Amino acid sequence: MQRRYFLKNSLKTVGLGAVGVATAAFVSTASAQETITWDMVTSWPTNFPALGTGANDFAERIETLSNGRMRVRVHGAGELVPAMEVFDAVAAGTAEMGHSAAYYWRGKVAASQFFTAVPFGMNTTETNAWLYHGGGQELWDEVYAKHNLKPFPVGNTGAQMAGWFKEEINSLEDMQGLKLRLPGLAGEAMNGIGVTTVNMAGGEIFTSMQTGVLDAADWVGPYNDMAFGLHQVADYYYTSPWNEPSAVLEGTVNLDAWNDLPDDLKAVVTEAARASNLAMTSEFAYRNAQALDTLVEEHGVQLRSFPEDVMQALYESSQQVIQNQVESDPDSAKVYESYQAFQELVRPFHDVGEFHYLKTRDNLTD
């Protein structure tokens, strides 16, 4: 807009009338273009902190960057479709866009889980590097195109907590028979050590914990967990972030709708997704720090880490779960080969860089 204003007024100043008319006509044509209005369905309650507001942020960036040519109406879980039906709704064109987490669709697309979180896998920085620079996005596009979807990373919670437990865990034996809400590959790994896991929408967790349907539950981290009041139904908060060292939130676009967009609006959606991804990651880093302090200091939450035998069992079970999946699903094998190769590439630098720095800082400042 500033460029157009400069051009139009500069041309008036030098008296180039003919070119000035052409410029004015371009502005008129652009402003007269029809506004595209899309609907976005999400797996989060309306305006839920960070997750729901992250979807709102994505929609607002699209409208701003498109100068109003494209508008997105955001619908919380259950308003147009249930939380766990976002994938199908966008694929079918019931809504043009969705905001959710890819591992919710493991029953439909086994390889989708690798685009949210991998137990004992890459952290947020490493995962974003894989998606943006290591071929991860191209593989995600390939897998989702079979389901008439175009995916984007649109947010990340960072490392998630291991979950809320009603009873303290002192050994592997204490895990046996527990009913736990935990999705994705980590849920399958928990099943492998004797835990019964279920996948349910976040809005159902509190009641399920309160009524005894669940003995424990993973959700996100301090900020979102406190928003759902999970500290009111469980005393022990396990910090061991083995399950989701990074958790990507996905934006999906119906592929037919995507292909109908002009190239400049495709670029708008792409850049809005990238900006919202960074914005959510930064917000979680800040809000989780505040919320953890509140949970511990004001609500008396007991922080715990899993015993060594539990962590060892979870690692071995995770590796077996991943191995079983890549052997049974060609897409999973292709995606995980890329994921694992990239992790091996970046790990040495992170070990001598970020990890070494954090250990040094903590040793010197404690």
In a domain, 218, yes or no: yes
Is 126 marked as a binding-site residue?
Answer: no
Question: What does the pLDDT read at residue 26?
Answer: 27
User: What are the C-alpha distances in Å from 4 to residues 12, 26, 32, 63, 339?
Assistant: 12, 9, 15, 19, 45
Is 44 marked as a binding-site residue?
Answer: no
Is 244 marked as a binding-site residue?
Answer: yes
C-alpha dihedral sign at 117, 278, 351, 223: negative
Give the integer Cα–Cα distance in Å for 243 and 195: 14
Least confident of 67-76, 269-278, 353-362: 353-362
* pLDDT per residue as tens digits for the range 240-290: 889 999 999 999 999 999 999 999 999 999 999 999 999 999 999 999 999
* pLDDT per residue as tens digits for the range 40-61: 999 999 999 999 999 999 999 9
In a domain, 10, yes or no: no
Q: State yes or no: pLDDT of 3 exceeds 50.
A: no
168 burial via Cβ count (<10 Å: 0-12, 13-18, 19+): exposed
Question: What does the pLDDT read at residue 212?
Answer: 96
Provide the domain limits for residue 69: 33-366
In a domain, 234, yes or no: yes
Eight-state DSSP code of residue 110: G
Is 137 marked as a binding-site residue?
Answer: no
User: What are the C-alpha distances in Å from 165 to residues 94, 215, 236?
Assistant: 38, 6, 5
In a domain, 177, yes or no: yes
In a domain, 16, yes or no: no
* pLDDT per residue as tens digits for the range 297-312: 999 999 999 999 999 9
Q: State yes or no: pLDDT of 214 exceeds 80.
A: yes
Question: What does the pLDDT read at residue 366?
Answer: 75
Question: What does the pLDDT read at residue 71?
Answer: 98
* pLDDT per residue as tens digits for the range 313-322: 999 999 999 9
Tell me the pTM: 0.87
Give the integer Cα–Cα distance in Å for 278 and 266: 19
* pLDDT per residue as tens digits for the range 112-161: 999 999 999 999 999 999 999 999 999 999 999 999 999 999 999 999 99
In a domain, 14, yes or no: no
Confidence of residue 6 (pLDDT cuts 50, 70, 90): very low
Give the integer Cα–Cα distance in Å for 278 and 281: 5
Domains: count for the chain? 1
Tell me the average pLDDT of the chain: 91
Domain CATH number, residue 59: 3.40.190.170
* pLDDT per residue as tens digits for the range 72-107: 999 999 999 999 999 999 999 999 999 999 999 999
Q: State yes or no: pLDDT of 168 exceeds 70.
A: yes
Question: What does the pLDDT read at residue 240?
Answer: 86
Question: What does the pLDDT read at residue 241?
Answer: 87
In a domain, 135, yes or no: yes
In a domain, 275, yes or no: yes
Question: What does the pLDDT read at residue 173?
Answer: 97
User: What are the C-alpha distances in Å from 180 to residues 176, 187, 213, 235, 247?
Assistant: 11, 8, 9, 15, 18
Question: What does the pLDDT read at residue 29?
Answer: 33
Question: What does the pLDDT read at residue 25?
Answer: 33
Confidence of residue 13 (pLDDT cuts 50, 70, 90): very low
Q: Which residue has the tokens 């009873």?
A: 167
Q: State yes or no: pLDDT of 2 exceeds 90.
A: no
Question: What does the pLDDT read at residue 271?
Answer: 98
